[in-house]
Amino acid sequence: MEFILASGAFRLLAIIIGYALGNIQTSYLFGKYFKNTDIREHGSGNAGTTNTIRIFGFSVGVVVFIVDALKAVVAFLLCMYLFGGSYFGGLNGILPGMYAGVGVVLGHNFPVFMGFKGGKGIASSIGVMLCTNWRIIIIQAALALICVATTRMISVLSLAITLTFPILLYIFGYDIETVLISVFMGVLAWFMHRGNIQRILAGNERKISFGKR
């Protein structure tokens, strides 16, 4: 274990652990075993929270969101424990958790058992944010509420919080490696939302309904 920590190999191991957990596709499993439906064949074709709300209703979408976020929380905290992470600086700071979070997002977006066709990783990204700093959580929650209230577009919420996450980490004094990891997560999120961005600019992005379908 000392060699793993000293050599920096914990980074790769944390990503692998996170990726394994990220492969748990909540929306797909719910649709398959409770509705006999492959969610990837309906709506936007995305195996994530927003499409779950569209196809199965708001309450199911909330459950999917919570589980997908918890995947990242579990991976984050597990790797913090295994690889010398500390919220008070120390040897590795929160790097083990951040790398695990990246792994979860990659596993959720590109699950090996589903032909690398999953979701867009926002719920899992939020799970990572929940593990960082209570001030960041409050700011991001307020921003999310404003985005939903003013646009009713989950995509706008997703783009806003992934854009501001690295900025907030930098403002609150996190090390540059941690900030760069969050930048990677943000770039990945924006890439996964490239179709949404095109629709937003064209003025025809889908808006969310909170009623049962």
Concatenate the DSSP letters of all residues of 72-107 into one string. Answer: HHHHHHHHHHHTT--TT-TTTTTHHHHHHHHHHHHH
Q: What percent of the chain has a predicted confidence (pLDDT) above 70?
A: 93
| Region 56-67 average pLDDT | 89
Task: Work out the end-to-end distance of the chain between its first and last CA atoms, rounded to an integer number of angstroms.
Answer: 51
pLDDT at 30: 87
Q: What is the DSSP letter of 117?
A: -
Q: Please state which of the ranges 27-31, 151-155, 183-187, 209-213 shows the lowest mean pLDDT.
A: 209-213
| Region 169-182 average pLDDT | 96
CB under 8 Å to 39, separation ≥6 — which residues? 27, 28, 31, 46, 47, 51, 52, 55, 56
Average pLDDT, the chain: 89
Query: By the 8 A CB rule, do 102 and 185 touch?
Result: yes
CA 84 to CA 82: how far, in whole Å?
Answer: 6
CA 172 to CA 187: how far, in whole Å?
Answer: 21
CA 197 to CA 173: how far, in whole Å?
Answer: 31
pLDDT at 7: 55
Q: What is the pTM of this model?
A: 0.89
CA 17 to CA 131: how far, in whole Å?
Answer: 17
* Residue 138 to residues 75, 95, 101, 116, 120, Cα–Cα distance (Å): 22, 22, 20, 33, 23
Distance of alpha carbon 56 from the chain centroid:
21
| Region 179-203 average pLDDT | 95
> Helices 58-82 and 122-130 meet at what angle, rounded to 10?
50
Q: Please state which of the ranges 25-29, 31-35, 183-187 shows the lowest mean pLDDT.
A: 31-35
